[in-house]
Amino acid sequence: MADVSVNFLHPTDGRQLNVTLDDRFTAQEAVAEQIAANFISPSSEGYGLAIKGGSIIGPDQSFENASVEDNTTIRILPATDAGKR
């Protein structure tokens, strides 16, 4: 268990929010925290996360498992119907 400091990039206006969180947080939990902090609005489609210039972080994947390091920028991506089962 460790804390990691990341920058969340807003999906539409480019604002950034620096957050320190437990690296055991999943992408889904991190999105919920961004909604609770009023950084992003709730969406019926939901959101995904991706490391800027890198890979997508799965909803149930922890930041530790995704190898997220301090000062990483995380893009918040509006979810679409593409790829849903």
- Look over the chain and give the mean of its residue pLDDT values, rounded to a whole number: 92
Instruction: Say if CB 57 and CB 64 are below 8 A apart.
Output: no
Single out the residue of 26, 37, 42, 38 nearest to residue 74, CA to CA. Answer: 26
Plot region of 72 (φ>0 → left; ψ -120 to 50 → alpha; else → beta)? beta
pLDDT confidence bin for 79, thresholds 50/70/90: confident
Query: What is the pLDDT averaged over residues 14-29?
Result: 95
Query: What is the pLDDT averaged over residues 12-31?
Result: 95
Tens digits of residue pLDDT in 26-67: 999 999 999 999 999 999 999 999 999 999 999 999 999 999
pLDDT confidence bin for 83, thresholds 50/70/90: low
